[in-house]
Structure 1
């Protein structure tokens, strides 16, 4: 909270953007009408109902046939359909304009951000759990294993920006970065009791490096593929898909973990008090070190099996992210290998705009027809 308050004060006092006179002269009512309230509401409804339904299924162990579970999932689908309809036909200023999302590069960027963020945040959530529940490390030690990942995130963004600035290219860097995330997820999925300590610290590094680079390059790809009038909306779309992927990545991986974990615990732990013990292990890993050797091994092995399934799914999602990046177009970017000027950027922008004019005119002709 203090950091949030500090950021609010910093933006309020230091950020001053001069808006055009026609915007400044608009009334608050006119400005409020530009906010896509209905689209935002249906989007929140779709994601929220999905998360709540999965939570009831995995955490509360309600059956799929329970009205609360399938009712929420149906509500999620209905809200998602309504969101698309609102964005397509009713919202005057949609939060996700379909005319942009249906284009080749914006669609590829949006999907790659969604799946990449889902895999990245699933790893951030589940790697510390591996060290706490399987390696029985303290919470502090478990969190420290994410330190290389954090360093890689900052390094990856800066490195991607430097490469694009030097070469004016982003396509090859994007694919290589996606491949790094696949390698990292595969390494993590192969962890077992014999894995060397070196791998337990280093294997997460390519995930942070690759994902940070992908986020940076795909954002530039999105900006380079749209006109200047759509820059703000296009940037917002990338954050929309990215944050949706982050939320769903954590939620879906948690639901998958609990499903597999419950199944494995029921296979290994039996007896009159098995249900209560299984529920305790599922909801509090702090009890595992205090169990007897037999139950401790059963709990540790069950968590290891469940997390391995989650890590394998992360690798599969990273593969999907890689495939989504393939259609991204290599639009002209200014190269700053020796010197870069504002005029060079403007020249590249005009060149790209001219290349987009035929396709735009064709689409307008089709709409007129």
Structure 2
């Protein structure tokens, strides 16, 4: 009897051991089915999905116009409102720095209050800022309006990409990223022309009126029809306390203080003046305190790069930062070269003359996306892109008053090729680096970081170039006998002086003065191109540190990428 009982117990234990794997398989199958349902629900392509995509396209097109139409209009605005060069350039800087500061805040608050609420708030800030800038009668009002526009633009930049990640699967997210990218391409190509046409007809205020009807359409679509991630069900106050508010304020105050000191230094105030060096010193001290606080604080940092601290991620962030610097320095100061190179060219033609750069950028960004999507190789595209961009910007130092159209077109095409290769390949590198580090990667943080460093670079691109341009232009005027007496005054009003120079009669009495001013403007741009080429070279060296990673950790990049259906099955199961 004892043997029989022992045999029964043995068979029962064997049965339990054999059934355990089957039970685990059943549980895994059930979890897989639940994930399939959730993926289908999130990525469902119904009319609300399309409405959400339409709203994102509208607000991103408006943001692209806002970023690219203004640079051509700066000389006319400075002349109309009798503002200095610093006043004019801060119309761009105010928007960019506000966007940079508020990008991390929008990202955090959207996890608490939901994407729809924060996207509506961002659109409201952008709309209000556009209205104030359109009706403002002086630079103070325009700076206020542009700052509010920047607060809204920061939300538009980051939330658009986060919303796309919420709505669609990993594979379809690439397609919607292309759609948003194509929207920006349309805006970047058409924005300078729109700005040129409006300014040419004396209607520069319509640059700020133009976004209002589009924002109104977005206000109709977003609250009623959009399909967006809802607010968190967790208690709000504890989640708000987790955000590093002190770090946010330290970063905002520090960067604004540094930028003010840099743009004032040399011309508005001498570099030894307390109004120049004190803001820079206080800003640097505040930034050091910010870094120390972020390192030791128990709260979540304002910019959370700790989960992405690998060589590839850091190299990608640095490259994205430098790309922002170079592209916006080109966007703001290449039109100045065109206006100084040919004083009789219309402002509409200035927008068209940017085509060799903007259209080439768009074409190669699309080609790079197709090649990376087919073969998965993004590192060669990054290296090639930096070489082309470095060469194109370095060759801009050859620009002169007598340069032929073929010269500047060929050089602009080289720069456009490099920028187009980099925009797409760096996005692929950021996605691959963040995914390879951990399975449950915080996609919101990954998207926020890449947008933050890009916008920060764009801000510094305008600031650095503004400081170089003003100081070099003053030195150029001092060396000209005809302009030495009014050098300081003209350097402070360098942007408005472009319009004044273009309006001078081309007779014998004014020809020498016009020619000297042309040469001074063009020579003042050369140090900008030198600095930008050096930064592009540094980014190329840093990009060599990138590791070849794929979407699955440990799989070499050069292996063939899975087909679309295989990727989706890996995501679902």
Match of 1:67 in 2: 274
- Where do 1:11-22 residues align within 5 Å? 11-18=222-229
Asked if the contact 1:57–1:69 (Cα under 8 Å) also holds between the matched residues in 2, the reply is yes
* Gapped regions of structure 1 (runs ≥ 5): 351-369
CA change 1:7–1:114 in 2 (3 A) is farther
* Gapped regions of structure 2 (runs ≥ 5): 1-210, 553-557
**TM-score normalised by structure 2 residue count:** 0.55
How far the C-alpha of 1:96 sits from its partner, in A, is 2.0
Moved more, 143-152 or 316-325: 143-152
CA change 1:257–1:272 in 2 (3 A) is closer
Match of 1:268 in 2: 480
Cα RMSD, aligned residues only: 2.9
Match of 2:448 in 1: 236
Could you give the per-residue CA deviations for residues 228-282 of structure 1, whole angstroms, max 9, x where no partner exists?
A: 3232212211111111110111111011011111001011035795347634762
Q: Distance in 1 between matches of 2:484 and 2:306?
A: 60
Match of 1:82 in 2: 289
CA change 1:257–1:71 in 2 (3 A) is same
Asked if the contact 1:269–1:295 (Cα under 8 Å) also holds between the matched residues in 2, the reply is no
**TM-score normalised by structure 1 residue count:** 0.83
Could you give the per-residue CA deviations for residues 115-160 of structure 1, whole angstroms, max 9, x where no partner exists?
A: 1110111011110000112322332222222123222333233222
SS in structure 2 of the partner of residue 329 of structure 1? coil
Q: Distance in 2 between matches of 1:201 and 1:13?
A: 47
CA change 1:101–1:178 in 2 (3 A) is same
SS in structure 2 of the partner of residue 332 of structure 1? coil
Could you give the per-residue CA deviations for residues 22-42 of structure 1, whole angstroms, max 9, x where no partner exists?
A: x73212223333444333322
Which of 469, 494, 503 matches 1:257? Answer: 469
1:152 aligns with 2:360: yes
- For the pair shown, which has the larger CA radius of gyration, 1 or 2? 2
CA change 1:73–1:87 in 2 (3 A) is same
Q: Distance in 2 between matches of 1:170 and 1:339?
A: 16
- Where do 1:7-46 residues align within 5 Å? 7=218, 9-18=220-229, 24-46=232-254
How far the C-alpha of 1:18 sits from its partner, in A, is 4.6
Q: Distance in 2 between matches of 1:127 and 1:332?
A: 38
Count of matched residue pairs: 346
Q: Distance in 2 between matches of 1:322 and 1:186?
A: 14
CA change 1:338–1:105 in 2 (3 A) is closer
SS in structure 2 of the partner of residue 25 of structure 1? coil
How far the C-alpha of 1:338 sits from its partner, in A, is 9.2
Query: Which protein has greater RCO, CA pairs closer than 8 Å, 6+ apart?
Result: 1
Asked if the contact 1:165–1:337 (Cα under 8 Å) also holds between the matched residues in 2, the reply is no
CA change 1:258–1:37 in 2 (3 A) is same
How far the C-alpha of 1:339 sits from its partner, in A, is 6.9
Asked if the contact 2:341–2:400 (Cα under 8 Å) also holds between the matched residues in 1, the reply is no
Q: Distance in 2 between matches of 1:269 and 1:277?
A: 15
1:52 aligns with 2:260: yes
